[in-house]
Chain A
């Protein structure tokens, strides 16, 4: 689906990522884990064109999109939901969904919104509430629903379960699996909830200090020594 080669990027003169090689296969869930500050979010932003890219290439469905501007990528079926501020808080839920279909035809938008609401029926009762007044879980679902309105093929999620209760987090993970299975969307996520995320994933990557230290089957990463030394000490305790 998307293939990244030797990517070097950062903010201005500050380089964060070094020689990243990464591949997201179509129809599989790919998860990136790694300690705080290791550049995971920066990588997702780089994919979407929100950082400065110094060298390397990003190939999406055979096309080079390394320097394609974000709104063009949206039209190509790539959706990126940032960690925070991923919905417009001053707009109502309905307006958020509508604006998500900005690039579509008028009739099509209504159709897509209805479809998104079928996948996320939780949103049906709160259509006229301002997104700013929603709970964390509702907000995250709204964010994912906006991606559905947009006919997303590749869905990039930055820590979708951050600050959610374990129960809600599980609900979000289930939705992610559902998106892949029933709606042929390819999810790419970054997760602090590393263990549980890897359990639903097919492919796992691990970043440390802006470099890839592991890339391969997700299950294998769970048992990898690097993962255990970096993570289970910390995350494991949190999850108990």
Chain B
């Protein structure tokens, strides 16, 4: 088992803010829009540095998506910022028609995704956004795992021409991927090679998967751990290669089981190489108020749940 270390905990939303600020300097076409959550999205640096390219929309997310679509028509690359709930479900038809179907180069940047938003509760804890967004034809869906990767992803999506959904979160979590990483959309990252079980994780669950891998190693189980930061397009090649070796797979995500990463993996494998799979995900339930750690435990998204799922799926080989 490869060892992963981190020197500090950081929030992924700050990675977004840092990436956006860098883009502001390097790409004059990048513009940013926010719906009264500048501080929460860490967009204040960009706002300060480029007031002319920052648009405070007010609490009006539908209008924000439309304005973003319009800005692309003048050659701008708009990055919209609000919570994941208000970036997706709230404005689904505006995204569908004015951005996705119209093929507009808008980057929908969504913070506070999932349970780890914590105390605000279920009204704000969207667990359906990956599903909503991946169902839209040609929408790219990215859920990076830590601060460094979120920063790298933010910078990378500016160079891709087309709509992108970038999902990140609120809590501070281990920052363990390289600061100088090159982010490739749609390219899985192998974190640990193993032979007994494949663990495919996205977002905040990637660190939990690493913890689970360490726990499994002490039990003599060799887990292959893959960070799928891009849910769509899915790196099917990396997935296939791994399961051909391990013959079973666990998927892990901070999302509903319905419509998430696990679904995408199962859909691919069932058609190409049917493989026993266990899903670490929220099972048809809304969240609730609580601390992020309490919620991850209660809803079965902890590293212990990944360990259990791995042991279970290995028996199904």
Q: Report if A and B associate in a common complex.
A: no
Instruction: Give residues in B with beta carbon < 8 Å to A.
Output: none
Instruction: Give residues in A with beta carbon < 8 Å to B.
Output: none
